[in-house]
Structure 1
Amino acid sequence: MTTQAPCWDTLINDALVFDGTGNRPERLDIAIADGKIAAKGRALPQALAKQVVDGSEQYLMPGLLDIHTHLDLEVELEPGLPEAVRHGTTTVLVGNCSLGLSYGAQQKDGADPVVDCFARVENVPKKVLSKCVDAIKWQDSKQYMEHFDELALGPNIAAFIPHSMLRIEVMGLQDSVSREPTEAELQQMEALVEKGIDEGYMGISTDGLPFHYLANSPNTDVRIPTQHGSFAEYKRLLKVVRDRGRVWQTTAIIENKIKLFRYFALTSGLLHGKPLKTSALTAVEFSTFKRAVYVFLRFASLMNSKLFKGRMHFQALGTRFRIWSDGVISPLYEELPATCKLNAVELEDSETRHRMLNDPDFIEEFRHDWYLGRRGWTLSTLKARIGVPDMNVVREPERLVFDGAPVTEWNGETFLQVMQRVQRYQHGYANAARSDAERDAFERFPDPMVDDADFMLHM
């Protein structure tokens, strides 16, 4: 009697298998050999496997593909990307939203583009970014792709050509945000996109969100380079992507709906000769942006119809979600002009921020922005009530929740709950303070604290 030698590397036994097609899960054994599924079924012979894994209390599914990440810097510091793979993600895409490292550090003429572009958009301290830049050894898009072969990667990785960095590569940082490209520069950008696609890039990424600003002087009130590109420039670069059958990753130009729909119509095969694969993603919350979201979805359906022959996928989370931020020091609050100025200040420069927060002119501007669309009878208020607000950032105190609060009891409570207790305390109800720590905190609030704008300014 002969025993067959093991021919599988691993046998996962009795797992609940989700096959990724939408079919109902079923309990199966899965055999793996040379990194591929070799067999599946029930009661597969364990003797044929070098390793047997008990999957009886586990889900087994294909690896997740994360199509929109900003792990460009993190993968250089920790190539295993444990925060991605521990959730079952086996492939990540980088170079999204026009930002990336494809062209190296790009430090020319005193400019520091990686720090300038990433600091406020990603809310990363400049000193951390500088360490990342110091580690960059490659000079062009080919070397960037090749350097991944030297890293001990956790997931697979793919990249887009980032439009902001492409403009900087060809025009220089300052010119990329202050003038139009020449014909020669446009041709050079087209050639670099073509070259990148030959090297394996997924396509090109752009960005239209109104709260993505440069971080270094003298451009702290200037948006990232991709937002300075004209429609004609987009059309030419995307023709290269269209002709090669690659992907355009972008975000919604939410502050100008007419411009948004004009740009999104670039997906149309009817209007432009051939469909353009378009991935339009935004972290918009349906409860705030109700009507507009469905307008976008209907527009995508129209573009993808047999008439317009597009290939557009508008993606947003279909549920409420939570975002952590250090108060208004967050890219999301760059949408408000007043808090945009706060975010323009260096992260470590708390003295300047405190000075601004006590400036009467700043306070007046902040109060105007904080209540735009939330009070009175104005066009902004009407638009907010019908689900197409001018401002999308969350400002309602009942929706803002403490985490890591200066008073431990506040953790998990809404700003509204704490604010109401402060107001009761200021009206003479000493028992509104539940502890000495809370009483000390209440004593530091301005008295009287009139509304949630006062509360937010103090916080």
Structure 2
Amino acid sequence: MDTTDHASPGGADFDLVIRGGTVYDGTGAPGVRADVGIRSGVVAAVSPAPLPVSAGTRVVEADGRWVTPGFIDTHTHYDVELLVSPGLGESVRHGVTTVLVGNCSLSGVYSDTVDVADLFSRVEALPRDAVLDALERTKSWSDAAAWRSAVESLPLGPNVASFLGHSDVRASVMGLGRSTDPERSPNRQERREIARRVDEALDQGFLGVSTMTNPWDKMDGDRYRSRTLPSTHASWKEFRQISRILRRRDRVLQGVPNLNTKVDVAFYVATSTGLLRKPLRVSLLAAADTLAEPWVNHIFRPLAWVANSLGRGRFVWQHLPTTFKVWADGIDLVVFEEFGSGREALHLKDEMARTDLLAKEGYRRWFRRDFEKRFSPRVWHRDFDDALIVACPDESLVGSTVGDVARDRSLHPADCFLDLVVEHGSDLRWTTTIANAREKVANRLARTPGVTIGFSDSGAHLRNMAFYNFGVRLLERVHAADRRGAPFLSVEEAVFKLTGELADFYRLDAGRIAPGRRADVVVIDPAGLDGESLDYHEEAMPELGGIRRMVNRNDRAVTATIIGGRVVWEDGQFAPGYGSDYASGRFLPAGRRINPAPTGSVPRVSRSAVHGQVNSTHTTATTAAATTM
């Protein structure tokens, strides 16, 4: 491979040279030792011969390291965090250079601030007061064009692309109350307005529409608390209307099916097919090997084959490439939304009222009946022998499972759990594994056609899980398997799944290292892929009320993250002013090339804009070159 810009030695100097690494270009091609030269935020040369370095050229040494396109995180809920902390450092420090927001029918584009807070907070386990405060400090837009302008005015760290949330647009047209009332449907005029707003968002470069039919995702707030999200109340006629728009525009339908019945998976498969019509790109949650239903992992490949081979569709599953392990404070965990007694407890915001409920004998009988149902649909295995106590005021319990404590106390595990929550409330912290615990199955899913890498939920469930380093985790597994002599993916295949494959499906200007492409690049040290990615850490989050969220801290794996030609993370440190004084990332419209953010020393936007000026100043959409991909 020699893709050197041969005019460069005699022309302008390189701003940055990544020297001597093994370059995986994001196409799935084998790695090649090469230098990467970057000029004005764009890859200018990829050369096996050393590139010239002048006094003004910054050099990133990559000898013995992997140089890959920046990872794409296709499933985040950064919609609110983006407004107050646009650097999104927890992802960027792990090699993510592009994030997709607006997933699971949730976005903050059309609805007002209180409605957005009620839509997001309980579903994504975010502190509602902090979400509402962040929105009140920043939000003034009410349509897709103004939302895009507001995002483009931020000192973005990574690149950002977005879906339009179906719950967001449906609530904005019908009103949140009517849109969550199972007895009400949009009238003809409202259906036309929903369609108009979808088209308007697609005109602004939105990737498509995200939907939700899962009934155990509930509203927050006091007005309509515990109602299911607006998207769950839509008819199939309404979904088909949206599908027709997306099919015509070659955009994506992102969906979450009913995780109880799973029947509507058939709708997503069918709507993707291209028999006698244009296929529709559909991305669906989730290809997972759950402990509760270990047989389910066998359906993902056949359904994708039916949709894509027989049906000539564009259907993919999203898969988390690591063990799906979660933590909980007391009973605050989304899996309790699966059954009635759990929902009843989570309906109560006040911890004292919740404690009173959990202590009542009638409630306990109900909880135990739900717990013991053998054949009820579930994601959580409901096995308290796999519920390890990691923190508790009674330190003698730390290190035991709830099942261990139940046997010591001669109690049913469900009664023992409720006793512990009544006694210790949210100070009882415990962990359990939900899915992807069987290495052989996880390896098979990662290489299955029709299964893509996603479902990190970055920016959500702050106290429950942290998968910001999902890309590092996949590479770590690939590297370890190769050293054992039992590879399941090559490095180039894994890099393609984290970069080029996703960019191609979502039609993003990302995921490649090639001359003329924007320079979003990651440098990986394989010596840092040593298992540290699974360690537990917490970090205070002042932008959202000081909540201590779970984070990842395996910083020796990613030695440099480069966004738009700018080194923003290197050797465990962010660049000065990152996420506050300048923008390294851009808003990425679907199907279009977009120039890098300016790399000069003049700040694009000051920190004050993040915390106040966004709601009073909307710049017009960027006039940088945008050509059809």
Structure 1 counterpart SS, 2:22 = strand
Q: 1:224 to 1:402 in 2, by over 3 A?
A: same
- State whether structure 2 residue 336 is matched by structure 1 residue 329: no
How far, CA to CA, are the matches of 1:164 and 1:338 in structure 2?
26
Q: 1:408 to 1:59 in 2, by over 3 A?
A: farther
Kindly indicate whether the alpha-carbon contact (under 8 Å) linking 1:287 and 1:320 is maintained by their aligned counterparts in 2. no
How far, CA to CA, are the matches of 1:74 and 1:404 in structure 2?
27
Cα offset, 1:283, TM superposition: 7.1
Per-residue displacement from partner, 1:89-121 (whole Å, max 9, x unpaired)? 1111111001111115x26xxxx3112111210
Matched residue type, 1:189 = I
**Corresponding residue for residue 304 of structure 1:** 308
Question: Residue 392 of structure 1 is aligned with which of 355, 359, 379?
Answer: 379
- State whether structure 2 residue 64 is matched by structure 1 residue 69: no
Question: Residue 295 of structure 2 is aligned with which of 270, 273, 291?
Answer: 291
**Corresponding residue for residue 264 of structure 1:** 269
> Higher relative contact order by CA 8 Å / sep ≥ 6: 1 or 2?
2
How far, CA to CA, are the matches of 1:182 and 1:322 in structure 2?
43
**Corresponding residue for residue 28 of structure 2:** 22
How far, CA to CA, are the matches of 1:6 and 1:245 in structure 2?
39
Cα offset, 1:332, TM superposition: 2.4
Matched residue type, 2:167 = S
Per-residue displacement from partner, 1:185-236 (whole Å, max 9, x unpaired)? 1011111111111111111010122320112335333201000000000001
How far, CA to CA, are the matches of 1:359 and 1:335 in structure 2?
21
**Corresponding residue for residue 489 of structure 2:** none
Q: Report the number of matched residues.
A: 408
**Corresponding residue for residue 280 of structure 1:** 284
Cα offset, 1:163, TM superposition: 0.4
Per-residue displacement from partner, 1:111-156 (whole Å, max 9, x unpaired)? x311211121011222112202212121211100111121000000
Cα offset, 1:408, TM superposition: 4.8
- State whether structure 2 residue 457 is matched by structure 1 residue 452: no
Cα offset, 1:61, TM superposition: 1.0
**Corresponding residue for residue 37 of structure 1:** 43
Q: 1:322 to 1:258 in 2, by over 3 A?
A: closer
How far, CA to CA, are the matches of 2:95 and 2:229 in structure 1?
33
How far, CA to CA, are the matches of 1:16 and 1:149 in structure 2?
34
Q: 1:26 to 1:407 in 2, by over 3 A?
A: farther
Q: 1:260 to 1:40 in 2, by over 3 A?
A: closer
Matched residue type, 1:155 = P
**Corresponding residue for residue 200 of structure 1:** 205
Kindly indicate whether the alpha-carbon contact (under 8 Å) linking 2:35 and 2:51 is maintained by their aligned counterparts in 1. no
Q: 1:370 to 1:284 in 2, by over 3 A?
A: farther
Question: Residue 406 of structure 1 is aligned with which of 385, 393, 398?
Answer: 393
Kindly indicate whether the alpha-carbon contact (under 8 Å) linking 2:123 and 2:217 is maintained by their aligned counterparts in 1. yes
**Corresponding residue for residue 365 of structure 2:** 364
Gaps of 5+ in 2: 1-8, 421-629
* Structure that is richer in helix per residue: 1
**Corresponding residue for residue 113 of structure 1:** 115
Kindly indicate whether the alpha-carbon contact (under 8 Å) linking 1:401 and 1:413 is maintained by their aligned counterparts in 2. yes
Moved over 6 A (4+): none
When the two structures are superposed, what TM-score results if normalisation uses the length of structure 1? 0.83
Matched residue type, 1:362 = Y
Per-residue displacement from partner, 1:312-340 (whole Å, max 9, x unpaired)? 10122355321222232122221121111
How far, CA to CA, are the matches of 2:291 and 2:344 in structure 1?
27
Between 280-289 and 64-73, report the one with greater CA deviation: 280-289
Question: Residue 233 of structure 2 is aligned with which of 228, 232, 243?
Answer: 228
Matched residue type, 1:116 = D
Between 89-98 and 402-411, report the one with greater CA deviation: 402-411
Q: How does 1:135-174 map to 2 (within 5 A)?
A: 135=137, 136-174=139-177
Matched residue type, 1:309 = R
Matched residue type, 1:279 = S
RMSD after superposition: 2.2
How far, CA to CA, are the matches of 1:454 and 1:14 in structure 2?
60
Per-residue displacement from partner, 1:372-431 (whole Å, max 9, x unpaired)? 21xxxxxx1xxxxxxxx61211321232233334355655554334544xx1xxxxxxxx
* Structure that is richer in strand per residue: 2
Kindly indicate whether the alpha-carbon contact (under 8 Å) linking 1:98 and 1:165 is maintained by their aligned counterparts in 2. yes
Question: Residue 90 of structure 1 is aligned with which of 97, 100, 109?
Answer: 97
Percent of aligned pairs with the same residue? 31
How far, CA to CA, are the matches of 1:52 and 1:318 in structure 2?
32
Matched residue type, 1:199 = Q
Kindly indicate whether the alpha-carbon contact (under 8 Å) linking 1:286 and 1:319 is maintained by their aligned counterparts in 2. no
Larger radius of gyration: 1
How far, CA to CA, are the matches of 2:23 and 2:293 in structure 1?
37
Q: 1:404 to 1:59 in 2, by over 3 A?
A: farther
Cα offset, 1:254, TM superposition: 2.3
Kindly indicate whether the alpha-carbon contact (under 8 Å) linking 1:285 and 1:319 is maintained by their aligned counterparts in 2. no
**Corresponding residue for residue 435 of structure 1:** none
How far, CA to CA, are the matches of 2:312 and 2:61 in structure 1?
48
How far, CA to CA, are the matches of 2:402 and 2:73 in structure 1?
33
Question: Residue 101 of structure 1 is aligned with which of 103, 108, 113?
Answer: 108
Kindly indicate whether the alpha-carbon contact (under 8 Å) linking 1:204 and 1:247 is maintained by their aligned counterparts in 2. yes
How far, CA to CA, are the matches of 1:97 and 1:453 in structure 2?
31
Matched residue type, 1:134 = E
Matched residue type, 2:153 = E
Kindly indicate whether the alpha-carbon contact (under 8 Å) linking 2:24 and 2:31 is maintained by their aligned counterparts in 1. yes
